[in-house]
Structure 1
Amino acid sequence: MRPSTATAPLRLLRNRPQLPRAPRRLASTNSTEAAQKKAQDALASAQKGAEKVWESAQKFLGPVGDRLSGLLGSYRQPIVYNLKVTRELFKHIYVAERLQPPTSLAQVQSAYSTLWQRAASPSYWREAARTGEWQRVGVYAVEAYGIYKIGEIIGRRSVVGYKLD
Structure 2
Amino acid sequence: MSATASRAVLRQSQFLTRRTAVRHASSTSEAASKAGQTASATASKASEGLSRVSSSAGPAISSAASALRKVGGRTGKVIAFVDSMIPPTVYYSRVGLELARLVFRGQSMTPPNLATFQTYFQPLTNAFSNPAALKNAGFSPSSIVSRVRSANKKEIALAGVAAAEVIGFFTVGEIIGRMNVVGYRGQPEHHH
- The answer, yes or no, to whether TM exceeds 0.5 is no
Normalised to the residue count of structure 2, the TM-score between the two structures is 0.28
Normalised to the residue count of structure 1, the TM-score between the two structures is 0.31
Question: Highest relative contact order (Cα 8 Å, sep 6+), 1 or 2?
Answer: 1
Structure number with higher helix proportion: 2
